[in-house]
């Protein structure tokens, strides 16, 4: 296949200038997120020489250890990733010069997140330079850490205009009331522009490319509306279970964990209006307006499921209630599906079906846009096999786009055949060093909030699902691990004369392409 002569080099960020000097303080510096995603992403930035020329890293956590021990442990972890073909980190070896740039000015500080003494130590270490505080900690610590940062003067405007920013991981609240409470805490200590609410889905190149697909191609945008589109399906399916996260998942569930952040992030990209100009606030304004137009989720349009024991890829796996730290009579959902309505001129009457689940038949994240059939069916009596008039945006694990349509089968008579063509990123672009946080970390250091969520958008997302969250939890419908999900989810579409695309279908079709 012909390669694009403008294809990027092996690191996606080599073409960008380094951001201004800063110190990155990671609360939770000894935690899993730091080891698996943040440090590998920072290494990729260092390898591409896209870190600030003057950069310092401070890890903060409650466990006492020496700075050298902390660095050595991170080095061992990242080296183990180079030997793991399934790791998100793609490098096969560690460049000592890049590692040196990352850790040349690095230290570890042990302390209690709830005590003022830790923040006084940080104030002395930072002086009046640029600083970013990354909250890679459980959500229960978010408000307290920001409050103590503010009380210690660490979020105040610095002499010479140095910036102070805070990166907050999801979940941002666990319902509408708690999201509003957390927002009030943040805005009591700083300005909205200082807070970067991160969703790693927006770090995926395939998600960011949705705007380019829609707004840079005249063949798509004119038909991206209710006159031509029948419905849209958004799927985020996983084969993994809750693993060792049972205690977290018991109080969270699939709806809170995936929908107001990840799935609504994708929904905004696929359904927002085109901004008048490509600036952070213009883009974020259109996303907020889109969420404001979504009708509150009705109970009859919501399905909950929970996986039971089954088999995935030939291996037996336990049910959710047999997982560690899970109640044997748990009513927590591991699967959520819903039908949403957007009340605006573009999407009035077009249903959006969203689903997410653990222990499903295949790992798959995609958006499927189903176009309406031609109004006059000249070939209404001709046999047609398969699915047609669909554009599928493949986000994970396959990265690309598929278009499905009908053609005449060769031979006498008029029989139709469903065919498709595929674009895959790997066919046109080299595999990039991209864990998924590189762009987000770079943008935060550069002061570009386009890919981060604004407080009003966060609150609108919780508004949509708040009513069903408040309802007394009934028993979720069981579905066997390794299947397509609960029957009620199929019925949700069947009552409208529609059906879900099979999970795992993209892998088979792409392999055949």
State the catalytic residues. 262
Give the Cα separation of 199 and 262 in Å (integer): 7
Give me 464's structure tokens: 């949509």
Contacts of 140 (CB under 8 A, 6+ apart): none
Contacts of 488 (CB under 8 A, 6+ apart): 303, 305, 337, 477
Length of the chain: 513
> The tokens 């690095």 sit on which residue?
106
Whether a cis peptide bond, with omega within 30° of 0, leads into 249 is no
Give me 147's structure tokens: 């409050």
Contacts of 451 (CB under 8 A, 6+ apart): 202, 203, 208, 439, 440, 443
Give the Cα separation of 459 and 465 in Å (integer): 10
* DSSP code, position 311: E
Q: Are residues 93 and 142 in contact, defined by beta-carbon separation less than 8 angstroms?
A: no
> The tokens 């899993």 sit on which residue?
32
Give me 182's structure tokens: 């957390």
Q: Are residues 233 and 484 in contact, defined by beta-carbon separation less than 8 angstroms?
A: no
Does an H or E element contain 209, and which? helix 205-215
Give the Cα separation of 48 and 15 in Å (integer): 9
> The tokens 């092996």 sit on which residue?
10
Q: Give the start-end residues of each E strand in 114-251.
A: 131-135, 164-168, 195-197, 229-237
Query: What is the DSSP annotation of 433-495?
Result: ---SSHHHHHHHHHT--TTSB-HHHHHHHHHHHHHHHHSPPPPPEEEETTBS--HHHHHHHHT
From the list 291, 254, 253, 251, the residue with the least C-alpha distance to 271 is: 291
Query: What is the DSSP annotation of 241-294?
Result: --TT-HHHHHTTHHHHHHIIIIIHHHHHHHHPPPPSS-SHHHHHHHHHHHHHTB
509, burial (CB in 10 Å: exposed 0-12, middle 13-18, buried 19+): middle
Whether a cis peptide bond, with omega within 30° of 0, leads into 15 is no
């Amino acid at each position: 296949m012909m390669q694009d002569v403008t294809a990027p080099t092996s690191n996606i960020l080599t073409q960008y200038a380094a951001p201004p000097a800063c110190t990155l303080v990671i609360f939770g510096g000894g935690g899993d997120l730091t080891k698996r995603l943040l440090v590998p992403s920072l290494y990729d930035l260092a390898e591409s020489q896209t870190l600030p020329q003057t950069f310092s890293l401070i890890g903060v956590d409650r466990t006492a250890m020496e700075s050298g021990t902390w660095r050595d442990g991170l080095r061992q972890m990242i080296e183990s990733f180079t030997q793991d073909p399934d790791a998100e980190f793609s490098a096969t070896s560690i460049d000592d010069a890049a590692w040196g740039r990352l850790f040349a000015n690095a230290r570890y500080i042990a302390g209690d997140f709830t005590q003022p003494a830790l923040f006084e130590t940080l104030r002395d270490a930072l002086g009046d330079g640029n600083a970013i505080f990354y909250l890679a900690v459980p959500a229960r610590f978010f408000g307290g850490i920001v409050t103590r940062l503010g009380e210690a003067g660490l979020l105040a405007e610095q002499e010479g205009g140095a910036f102070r920013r805070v990166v907050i991981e999801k979940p941002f609240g666990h319902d509408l009331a708690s999201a509003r409470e957390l927002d009030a805490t943040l805005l009591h200590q700083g300005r909205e522009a200082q807070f970067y609410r991160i969703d790693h889905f927006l770090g995926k190149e395939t998600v960011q490319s949705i705007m380019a697909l829609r707004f840079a191609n005249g063949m798509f945008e004119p038909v991206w509306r209710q006159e031509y589109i029948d419905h849209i399906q958004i799927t985020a399916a996983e084969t993994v279970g809750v693993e060792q996260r049972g205690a977290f998942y018991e109080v969270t569930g699939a709806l809170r964990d995936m929908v107001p952040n990840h799935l609504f992030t994708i929904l905004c990209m696929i359904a927002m209006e085109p901004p008048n100009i490509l600036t952070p606030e213009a883009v974020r304004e259109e996303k907020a307006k889109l969420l404001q137009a979504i009708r509150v989720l009705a109970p009859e349009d919501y399905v909950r499921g929970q996986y039971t024991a089954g088999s995935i890829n030939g291996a037996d796996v336990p049910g959710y209630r047999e997982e560690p730290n899970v109640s044997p009579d748990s009513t927590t959902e591991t699967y959520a599906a819903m039908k949403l309505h957007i009340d605006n001129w573009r999407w009035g009457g077009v249903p959006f079906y969203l689903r997410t689940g653990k222990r499903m038949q295949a790992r798959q994240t995609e958006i499927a846009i189903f176009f309406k059939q031609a109004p006059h069916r000249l070939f209404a009596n001709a046999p047609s096999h398969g699915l047609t008039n669909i554009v599928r945006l493949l986000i994970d694990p396959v990265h690309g786009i598929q278009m499905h349509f009908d053609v005449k089968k060769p031979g006498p008579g008029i029989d139709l055949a469903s065919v498709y063509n595929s674009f895959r990123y790997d066919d046109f672009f080299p595999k990039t060093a991209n864990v998924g946080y590189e762009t987000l970390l770079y943008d935060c250091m550069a002061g570009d909030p386009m890919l981060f969520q604004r407080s009003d958008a966060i609150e609108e997302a919780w508004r949509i699902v708040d009513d069903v969250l408040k309802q007394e939890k009934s028993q979720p419908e069981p579905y066997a691990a390794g299947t397509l999900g609960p029957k009620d989810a199929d019925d949700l579409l069947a009552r409208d004369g529609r059906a879900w695309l099979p999970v795992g279908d993209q892998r088979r079709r792409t392999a055949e392409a």
